[in-house]
Amino acid sequence: MISTEGRIACTLQGPVNAPRRTQDLADLRARLRANRERLDIAEVREHFRLFERETMLDELLKETD
């Protein structure tokens, strides 16, 4: 079974590979919002760091506060 953090990482590949895929951003936003209290944010941040998208994560987290 894939963790929520793993699902977020998989979904992140969409906008990284094809920035026009706005639905993936909406999905990321929804997953972060729905699971914010239970997420291992350090793990999520590492996934975003691997794709050089930490700024994107910070923006998404602000939107989900």
- In which domain, by residue range, is 31 found? 4-63
Given this model, what pLDDT does residue 8 score?
Answer: 96
What is residue 64's predicted lDDT score, i.e. its pLDDT? 82
Confidence (pLDDT) at 21? 86
Burial of 57 (0-12, 13-18, 19+ CB in 10 A): buried
In the chain, which ranges are continuous DSSP H helix?
A: 4-17, 22-35, 41-50, 54-63
Domain count, the chain: 1
- Position 55 scores a pLDDT of 97
Q: Against a cut of 0.85, is the pTM above it?
A: yes
Burial class of residue 28 (count of CB atoms within 10 Å of its CB; 0-12, 13-18, 19+): buried
Tens of pLDDT along 4-61?
999 999 999 999 999 898 899 999 999 999 999 999 999 999 999 999 999 999 999 9
